[in-house]
Amino acid sequence: MAINAMDNSKFCSFINILVFCFLCSNIVCNAAIGLTLKPEAYDVLDFGAAQNGSADSSEAFLEAWDYVCSKETEKVSLIVPENETFLLHPVTFNGPCKAKEIEFQIQGKLISPISPKTWEGHDKGKWITFSKVSGLKIKGNGEINGRGWGWWNQSCRDHRGLAMIFQSCKNSSLSEVRMVNSAQTHVLITGSDDIIVEGLMISAPETSPNTDGIHLSSARNIVIRNSVIGSGDDCVSIGDQTSNVDISRVKCGPGHGISIGSLGRAGNYVQVQNIRVSKVVFNGTTNGARIKTWQVGKGFVRGVTFENLIFHSVKNPIIIDQNYCDVRGACKELQTGVRISDVAYRNLWGTSSTAVAITLNCSRSVSCTGLLLHSVWLKSAMSGKNVTSTCTNAHGATVGVVHPAPCLQHHL
């Protein structure tokens, strides 16, 4: 019996040790998981940023950026705290960074210098730039205010500042932030790959010149979705050397619509392809789905789809202008041109505020080919008025009901 009691005692001790080890291992695992879920976070105030926009915080922001950029970690956060305003002169946040992911949380407000004179000594062409950064996640419910009204009456030759630039960035995103009153374009994505823009609210007066919402140039694999954009220029404009772009669920207006172009102004070789624009609502815009190329350009625009679009009192719901030149309305015929092909318009409907709802103005020397109008219904925004189509050197086909009556030359 003594031996059995001793054995039982040893067995119980062994079980207790196992339970203790199990509990300890759980604690260690949970701690490790906690560290993964809660990345290192740093507040710009800790680096001397001035509150209430009372002084320039550029140096503090740059110091904070350099610190988080140098962290050898999976994920790190830099926080612009809510209920605070920070004045920034032109700044460039440089990469590459050691951190695999940097979360830039904009909860407060960022403001630019209010007068063009205060930009003296700085690069006037840009305000907030992220250069050569991978894994950047800009997010938050804060505001980026370009306070650009002092620039809008000045010549565009003054190189007004673009509010935010992604330059040579990869695998990054911009989400949920409110951007207002940029001196020029609100967001420029250039030389960058795999960028997602979503949940943005971009706003500038209809009369503010060249204040595009988002402009793409030499960009690949770009997603723009679930955003509201109103400005004095294009809601989204697509520049040269751009491919694999998906724009969806965007409310556009006021503004100049969603434009591919202008392209080829310098007589260069254009390459734009695989562009999809879907589920966009245009409210009172100058254009809807637009492609615009200069006569002197070369190269191609191909593989473009506009689908499931709604137009409310839009001046030019569907427009291609392949004969763009410096003298509006007096462009002479040239032998050059950007070749436009394989462009589909599917399930488009709404109202035009002008008599011509569809304009397909293509070049005689390099005509548009492979155009498709599939289930398009456009009528006048004015009761009792009719709308028409106009085509020049436009080749393609129609499927389903198309109104106004199409004018395509029916061969691909």
Q: If we measure between CA atoms, which residue out of 66, 53, 70, 168 comes closest to residue 112? A: 53
Phi/psi for 45 (5° steps) reads -65, -30
**Is residue 73 a contact partner of residue 100, using CB atoms and an 8 Å limit?**
yes
| Rounded distance between C-alpha atoms, residue 136 and residue 42, angstroms | 15
Tokens 């997602």 sit on residue:
196
Helix/strand/coil for 63: helix
Which residue in the list 89, 159, 186, 256 is annotated as catalytic? 256
Q: How many CB atoms lie within 10 A of CB 267?
A: 11
Cα 248–Cα 387–Cα 372 angle in degrees, nearest 5: 45
Residue 122 falls in the annotated catalytic set: no
Helix/strand/coil for 1: coil
| Rounded distance between C-alpha atoms, residue 136 and residue 173, angstroms | 6
Tell me the residue length of the chain.
412
Q: Which residues are catalytic?
A: 256
